Amino acid sequence: MLDMNPEYDEYIEVYGSLDTDLLNAIYGCVQASKPWFDLLASILKNLGYTQSATFPCMMHRVQRKKVFIVLIYDDDLKWCYQ
């Protein structure tokens, strides 16, 4: 993340994690979480992340002997398993 946006350095936690919140939520559409999850998963896959076979809402990547894990949480996690 810092390779793409070095200005995020000030938001890195003590242990090296970076927590983010979406500023805009998608409400009103029952199926809104599915396209959001698909878009986020495709972006992460293009960045070299691999989707977990046992927990599809978890993506991981190994780079320079470091493991990066992204856990995707949505209001309706059932989309992760379809």
pLDDT at 9: 84
For residue 4 the two structure tokens come to 């793409």
Range of the domain at 69: 28-81
Q: Would residue 17 count as lying in a domain?
A: no
Residue 38 forms part of a structural domain? yes
Per the confidence metrics, is the pTM higher than 0.85? no
pLDDT per position in the chain (82 positions), as tens? 778 778 888 888 888 887 766 655 555 565 667 777 888 889 999 999 999 988 888 999 999 999 999 988 765 555 555 4
| pLDDT of the residue at 34 | 75
Query: Can you tell me the distance from the alpha carbon of 15 to that of 17, in angstroms, rounded to the nearest whole number?
Result: 6
Domain count, the chain: 1
The first and second tokens of residue 13, run together, are 């936690």
- Per the domain annotation, does 62 fall within a domain? yes
Beta strands in 7-82 (DSSP E): 50-51, 58-63, 66-71
Please report, for residues 29, 52, 61, the alpha-carbon distance to residue 70 in angstroms, rounded to integers and kept in the order given.
25, 10, 9
